[in-house]
Amino acid sequence: MDPRATATADAPAAGASSATEVLRVFLGLGLTSFGGGHAVLPFWTELRGRPGVRALIRGANAAVVGILAAALYTPVFTSAITGPAPLCLAAVCFVLLMAWRAPSWVVVLLGAGGGMLLGGAGI
């Protein structure tokens, strides 16, 4: 038998299998978060009180923040910040959010308006 024919015949089965596994994962996550989470809550409360588990959670949170920062930097920052003026606008919006605790909708409107002004001026 030709090995290429076997690989071609197995390819749809492999795709169906992975789709089934993805469905199982999402179904399990959904059941855990909507119904089964209450059964795990007492165990989780005790577990997260341990210093080693708290350190593990902090490390996982830091890893997620790093991944999100990398995902934000590559497509968004490198294509949106094209010079000093857009960088200043982004910095002003960041300071408004973080230091002055301005409402996010105000910062979004200010950033959109500033971006339209910079775009209209050709900057």
Residue ranges covered by each domain of the chain: 9-47, 55-80, 81-123
**Is the confidence at residue 107, as pLDDT, over 90?**
yes
- Cβ 62 vs Cβ 70: under 8 Å: no
Angle ∠(36,41,47) on CA atoms, nearest 5: 130
Residues listed for the chain: 123
What pLDDT score does 37 carry? 61
| 16-30: pLDDT as tens digits | 677 788 777 777 666
Tokens representing 32?
């855990």
Distance (Å, whole) CA 114 – CA 112: 5
> What confidence tens digit (pLDDT) does each residue in 56-76 have?
999 999 999 999 999 988 888
pLDDT at 13 over 60: no
CA distance 120 to 103: 26
